[in-house]
Amino acid sequence: MFNKIYSPVEKIKSVSFSNLYVKRDDLIDPYISGNKWRKLKYILAKAAAENKNHLVTFGGAYSNHLVATAAAAARAGLKSTGFVRGEAVKNEMLMLCKLFGMQLIFIDRESYKNKQALFNKYYQNDSSAFYIDEGGASREATIGCAEIIDELTEEYDHIFCAAGTGTTAAGLLKGLNNNNLITKLHVIPVLKNGFFLKDEILKYTAVTENLFLHTDYHFGGYAKTTPELINFIKSFVGNTGILIDPVYTAKMFYAITDLKKKGVIGYEDKILAIHTGGLLGLFGMENKFE
């Protein structure tokens, strides 16, 4: 299932986005999408090595990670359970989780804060259960994300990625360091007060000289949007033919264009944007695009 794969790099042809290339991890798989595929690759390998056959993980009601884990478990012949933050709801994402065989357990927001305690409460005596943190955050996930850099055949002045947990960014930074590249890594936190992500990244790599966090592009917080962001998505997709989602990748591409306008990024600089997938994040936002 997780055979070695190389996602393509495409140059954006629109004159509005000069010298911008996109690593199309969104094309890897429709359900185990983008960085979710990268993260789960070595997580599932670890689960197999430990003879675990029940994946237990966590996420919100519109979590791409829950869908990806459910799909990966189904393909590998494993059981899966997802702890869902908040009150019981029904939506397209959770429907997919159920179709892939995932059991859903809805948890109040206060209890959800201690995920390890929840795992212990429900599965302390289940030797087959394997804990996967929210978003797949783990050292194994960074190894998978580092391989993005190994696949590149050209060098870039800047690499951009969106960030929720910082795991993908940590993997990219490890990949750059492993390949002795001085490319600047720009991380766009998609939630408020994203400064904490630097500490999360430091859990996995201590070399951060070429790491830059831009924390002003969250548009109100996680999964929040504004008319400006929605209009940007419409323009970007219409001009490039590449779908982006309001939760992660749209905020990253907006940041790239804004930082170029402000002169933080040179006009002729060669930029690579990591398209981390997550296009199912468009579900539930139909009314914003009317």
What integer is the mean pLDDT of 143-168? 96
- 113, 136, 159: which is the final residue of a domain? 136
Say what the pLDDT of residue 82 is: 98
Residue 267 has pLDDT above 80, yes or no: yes
Structure tokens that stand for 212 in this block: 């830059």
Cβ-Cβ contacts under 8 Å for 12 (sequence gap 6 or more): 20, 21, 22, 240, 242
Q: Which helix (H) or strand (E) holds 250?
A: helix 249-261
How many separate domains does the chain show?
A: 2
4 part of a folded domain: no
182 part of a folded domain: yes
Q: Letter for the amino acid at 245? A: D
191 part of a folded domain: yes
- What is the distance between the alpha carbons of residues 253 and 173, in angstroms, rounded to a whole number? 19
Q: Letter for the amino acid at 124? A: Q
62-81 tens-digit pLDDT: 999 999 999 999 999 999 99
- 136, 162, 181: which is the final residue of a domain? 136
Say what the pLDDT of residue 30 is: 92
CATH label of the domain that carries residue 214: 3.40.50.1100
162 part of a folded domain: yes
Exposure string for 83-108, b = 16+ CB within 10 A, e = fewer: bbbeeeeeeebbebbeebebebeebe
Using 50, 70 and 90 to split pLDDT, how confident is the model at 15? low
Residue 271 vs residue 282, higher pLDDT: 271
Beta pairing class for 129-131 and 211-213: unpaired
Same domain, residue pair 52 and 104: yes
Same domain, residue pair 270 and 165: yes
154 part of a folded domain: yes
What integer is the mean pLDDT of 167-172? 97
Please tell me the least confidently modeled range out of 13-22, 247-256, 259-268.
13-22
* DSSP 8-state secondary structure symbol assigned to residue 194: G
Using 50, 70 and 90 to split pLDDT, how confident is the model at 96? very high
pTM of the model: 0.94
219-259 tens-digit pLDDT: 999 989 999 999 999 999 999 999 999 999 999 999 999 99
- 136, 157, 189: which is the final residue of a domain? 136
Give the domain range for residue 112: 37-136
Of 70, 79, 68, nearest in space to 98 by CA: 70
86 part of a folded domain: yes
Same domain, residue pair 47 and 162: no
209 part of a folded domain: yes
Cα torsion through 207, 199, 42, 188, rounded to 10: -90
Task: Give percent above pLDDT 90 in the chain.
Answer: 88
Residue 17 has pLDDT above 80, yes or no: no
